[in-house]
Structure 1
């Protein structure tokens, strides 16, 4: 979850407790994600890509340490310590973002022929690193989007992530798994449509920022994300039990499941905020 008050307007202030809780929540979740990205990149490099493998291993160790440090803090930790820790993690997220973009450039310019990292996958994980680093900057600066902006922007970001996941699953399954590939393709199409709708809503801001429209927007997205999350859970279990043919690492199956679960938590949190605004359907600002 994105903290308990993700859409809070900066003018209302953020307490030290909320700041600490949000920061630790973000870092505990995303540091683990960054650590796993390092592993997935390494697995996709060729044996001769020793320097890239070395860099990926360094990032794995770095984010493993940061994840452990985040769990050593508590919600009662000193806000100044957390602010300093946020800066340290933000620098690490910026570094891995740059590494991922470098790898993407090498792949697209055909300098890593035979490697197994899709360009879209590397772009995907670099977007997540950029999201993480920007989130930490916002937290330290106390800049939080008004609720209507946060709802639309977060959904645009995560809907694209979900659409990508469906595409990756479809391409990493063995071609003989025809039925599962068909299901993954249907999810890809569904989330592409939801993403287009979200971007249309974003283009109509501020007029689209009414409680009825945002409420319907969240409800529609929740239905599809829940279905995809459940599909990912089933796929994870089948992969762990060696019941389907694929080149999907079991950790990758769990990784994409956790990201869908987080998106659902964010939708539920936004919905709870919207409920308190339903007496004011016009609601352009929080």
Structure 2
């Protein structure tokens, strides 16, 4: 099955600092590719995988779920760890949720995490009906393209497979109980006006993680897909500054040791 335009995975071989970038639910690498490109241009080793079932057609996604998506980013983290001295993980929306699970499961193997409008819950009354409705109705309307910037476009599905949505919901429920295991330095950037993931999700995450080095930034001029929106340059700059700060600190600590 051919990829949608721009949905191809991306890898860049750079220096000893690695970055794993994770895209969102029903989206593709296209939504975060400028983020990955910015970091690659600054000499970092970057991996941006395509999550299973994404980037082709919604029918392919209907037969995948949370564990498939997590397994893909887990494999990429291991690959980066084999070649890099430190690895950071970044994610948008569901990609932020996958980032948090990697941090919870892998401890010191993840040097820091960057989240943009991370998901913590599938919202709405319909979410509670997913266990039953998914057997009756295959899809619902898509969630792509929540962008304030005129002309901004996200390459994603125009339908949401409900079997996949149900798996996503269950995965988020499990992740919520794992959030206290997240101890890494954390940069969280979120939009006050987001029509897909409300700010309450970011607040919940910040309240439950155990990280002590935490920075929160508001994306005042962007909607959900902020990595393609007005605040994208700020996201990229703050991400690189966060990684550089922690990488320099690690090198200085190693030299003192």
TM-score by length of 1: 0.27
Higher helix share: 1
Q: TM-score, normalised by structure 2?
A: 0.29
Question: Highest CA radius of gyration, 1 or 2?
Answer: 1
Structure number with higher strand proportion: 2
